[in-house]
Amino acid sequence: MANAVRTTVLGLFAIVSFLIPLTLVYAQQVTPSSPSESGYKLSVNVDEVVLHATVRNRKGTPVAGLGKDNFQIFEDGVPQTMKHFSHEDIPVTAGLVIDNSGSMRPKRAEVIAAALAFAASSNPQDQMFLVNFNEHVSFGLPHGTLFTDRSEQLKTAMSTVIADGETALYDAVAVALEHLKQGIRDKKVLIVVSDGADNASVHTKAQMLELATQSDAIVYSLGIYEPDDPDRNPHVLSELSKASGGEAFFPESLREVVPICERIAHEIRNQYTISYIPTNQKLDGTYRVIQV
């Protein structure tokens, strides 16, 4: 499949570098893409690298209205020919991964409000699902419902859960990344809301990060905890988002949680999609540096 990478460009003339493994860029067999039901599927081949770029000005505001000529792509310093360029509000498959362990109990109201704010600010055609976790991982939507575009279903799914128990963050992320594969949207994201702690997972942190690296999903993390919270682990959330090309946010107060989720939704809807076929066709499994 095509490898989707997301990056953020700060300022109109900045260069952003990141690594991709060539084992992720290519598949052994070439299979043609087919249109999705909504007509939003990108026509890309398996040997294409797909980039989702967010361009911000110096104030951090997304910049719209740029054209293909405003972007250049380099792979290991070699210029690449852009094959596809678009700046459209395309629907995505999005998963909300919500920490319901005992340490999150005092923050439940803000967590629910933030998740609903993200849903309300997203594209109405987005496919969404909910993963709740403490020491157990479960899907929040009614049995047999894989995805929804109805915020009231998400609200009900979150409101009926009692925050208690330990934390299986790594397992929850692994389950959510696997579930994303069932979505029909080409662009896939996860919103992980947690304090970053884990004391109950079967998966290790290394396994979770490897799954995030191999996935075409963009992971946004929202770390919610008190400064003296012994369970906090912001480093894990930062690593998770970095591995996927996403971004981690750490609000200084609970009042910032809802605006941050609204900002994430706005950013997702305002990204530039760029693709190219690498001039270097070696399938050697090494990492290459991409600059936009």
Distance CA 5, CA 40 (A): 18
The position carrying tokens 């906090």 is: 232
pLDDT of residue 118 exceeding 70: yes
Give me the domains of the chain, ranges plus CATH numbers. Answer: 3-88+271-291 (no CATH), 93-268 (3.40.50.410)
Name which residue leads in pLDDT, 62 or 80.
80
Q: Residue type at 11?
A: G
pLDDT of residue 144 exceeding 90: yes
Number of neighbours of residue 69 by Cβ within 10 angstroms: 8
Measured in residues, the chain has a length of 292
**Starting from the edge strand earliest in sequence, which strands make up the sheet with 78-80, in order?**
17-21, 287-291, 73-75, 78-80
What pLDDT sits at residue 155?
Answer: 87
pLDDT of residue 34 exceeding 50: no
Name which residue leads in pLDDT, 50 or 22.
50
Tell whether pTM > 0.85: no
